[in-house]
Amino acid sequence: MHAVYPLVLGALLFAIGLYGVLARRSAIAVLMAIELLLNAVTLNLVSFGAILRDQYGMGQIFTLFIITIAAAETGLGLAIVLLLYRQRATADLGEQRELAEPVERFDADELLFSGETRGRGAAS
Amino acid sequence: MTHGYLSPTGLEIAFVLVGLVTLGSGLLVVTIKNLVYAALWLIVCMGSIGIEYLLLSAELLAWVQMLIYGGAIIVLFLFGLMLTRAPIGPTEELNVRNRWPAAIVGLGAAGTLVTVIVQAYQHTWFDPRDAVSLGTGQALGSQLFKYWVLPFELLSVLLLAALVGAIVLSASGRHASGVEEEED
């Protein structure tokens, strides 16, 4: 098999995932596009593993590791998206204009600690 | 022995056909307007990538890919869609504003990567059947525990950290939403 076929497939899949990450506005759709990106990378690893055939089996072992990390990343990402939805009632990334926590949730001493900027932000 | 591009082997034909399925379903995942359908097309995409792993003679990885991606991660996504009450029907405003800049970036990345890869690996030829013995469960397991034990253990710690992180996030979220409900 020519090495070009799997490598070009991985590159095109990566480009599709890049488009998805940039174009989608729903946070969960962005997470799906990130899965596409990770799969493009693992496809590259597997094909280089088959091309080079090193004695440590690096390509396939790293693919196993990446699949594990992707599972952990998806779980944590979805937990964050659910938290975002509970606090803001939307998971739309275009609507998230401010990343600071709401001012009311800070304790008094934390407000004192950085009172200047936050107080100004709340007043405006 | 030289291998031309005009006389493809059966393996290459199968690889390209499954690759077309992968690319088509991947495009549908990022462009389709219905989010649930996007998650379902992601199953097709992951499954066909699993078939590509089989064609590249990574046998164990193919089944891991089917199980973890086709099963667990898609179910997580569907649960996420359900819990955030994402619009089930087609939504118009899913990707309106950023579509053209994103398309330009995607096409630019695709063009650059494909050019570089074709220039670099034009004449590389390999037989996936030579690597069959590397992809079995026995070979992968012995390599994992012979050479990669430390990263393996590190990954278990990472999974534990992710578990604790997810629990902390969802617990604090429940507390915050409980406060909001009392205020309502």
> In this predicted structure, what is the pLDDT of residue B124?
87
Residues B30 and A15: beta-carbon distance below 8 Å: no
> What is d(CA B170, CA B115) in angstroms, rounded to the nearest whole number?
45
Same domain, A76 and A114: no
When pLDDT is cut at 50, 70 and 90, the band that residue B23 belongs to is very high
* Opening angle at CA A32, ends A27 and A35, nearest 5: 130
- Reported ipTM: 0.87
> In this predicted structure, what is the pLDDT of residue A67?
93
Taking only the tens place, the pLDDT of each residue in A62-97 is 999 999 999 999 999 999 888 888 887 777 777 777
Residues A69 and A37: beta-carbon distance below 8 Å: no
Number of domains in chain A: 2
Nearest CA to CA, how far is A99 from chain B (Å)? 16
Partner residue facing B140 (CB), from A32, A51, A57: A57
Taking only the tens place, the pLDDT of each residue in B95-136 is 567 788 899 999 999 999 999 999 999 888 888 888 888 888
At which residue do the structure tokens 């037989």 appear? B127
Mean pLDDT of A37-46: 95
What CATH number has the domain bearing residue A33? 1.10.287.3510
> What is d(CA B131, CA A28) in angstroms, rounded to the nearest whole number?
37
> In this predicted structure, what is the pLDDT of residue B180?
46
Same domain, A11 and A72: yes
pLDDT score of A119 more than 70: no
Partners of residue B72 in chain A, C-beta under 8 Å: 71
> In this predicted structure, what is the pLDDT of residue B129?
85
> In this predicted structure, what is the pLDDT of residue A89?
76
Same domain, A29 and A57: yes
> In this predicted structure, what is the pLDDT of residue A124?
43
Mean pLDDT of B55-80: 91
CATH 3.40.50.720 describes domain B10-147? no
> In this predicted structure, what is the pLDDT of residue B33?
85
Q: Which residue blocks in chain A are alpha helix, DSSP H?
A: 4-23, 27-52, 58-88, 108-113, 115-123
Same domain, A83 and A41: yes
Same domain, A59 and A111: no
Nearest CA to CA, how far is B92 from chain A (Å)? 11
Residues B122 and B114: beta-carbon distance below 8 Å: no
Q: Is A8 at the interface with chain B, CB within 8 A?
A: yes
At which residue do the structure tokens 């990390």 appear? A69
pLDDT score of B57 more than 70: yes
Mean pLDDT of A21-34: 90
Same domain, A108 and A53: no
When pLDDT is cut at 50, 70 and 90, the band that residue B60 belongs to is very high
Domain ranges of chain B: 10-147
Domain ranges, residue A29: 4-91
Same domain, A12 and A63: yes
Contacts of B52 (CB under 8 A, 6+ apart): A6, A9, A43, A46, B15, B18, B19, B22
> What one-character-per-residue DSSP string does B110-175 give?
HHHHHHHHHHHHTT-B--GGGGGGGSSHHHHHHHHHHH-HHHHHHHHHHHHHHHHHHHHHHHHHHH
Query: What pTM value is reported for the model?
Result: 0.83
Mean pLDDT of A102-112: 55
> In this predicted structure, what is the pLDDT of residue B19?
96
**Best mutation site among A18, A19, A82 for testing chain B: the one with the most B CBs within 10 Å?**
A19
Query: Among A9, A10, A5, A16, which Cα is nearest to B28's?
Result: A16
Partners of residue A69 in chain B, C-beta under 8 Å: 155, 158
- Report residue A3 as tokens: 């090495």
pLDDT score of A33 more than 90: yes
pLDDT score of B30 more than 80: yes
Which residues make beta-bridge pairs with A92? A26
pLDDT score of A38 more than 90: yes
> In this predicted structure, what is the pLDDT of residue B183?
40
Partners of residue B110 in chain A, C-beta under 8 Å: 11-12, 14-15
Write phi, then psi, for A53 (nearest 5 degrees): 50, 55
> In this predicted structure, what is the pLDDT of residue A87?
80
Which of residues A10 and B6 earns the better pLDDT score? A10
> In this predicted structure, what is the pLDDT of residue A107?
57
Partner residue facing A67 (CB), from B68, B97, B101: B68
> In this predicted structure, what is the pLDDT of residue B182?
43
Query: Among B136, B137, B11, B116, which Cα is nearest to A10's?
Result: B116
Contact B61 A63 (CB under 8 A): yes
Same domain, A81 and A118: no
Amino acid at B162: A
> In this predicted structure, what is the pLDDT of residue B159?
93
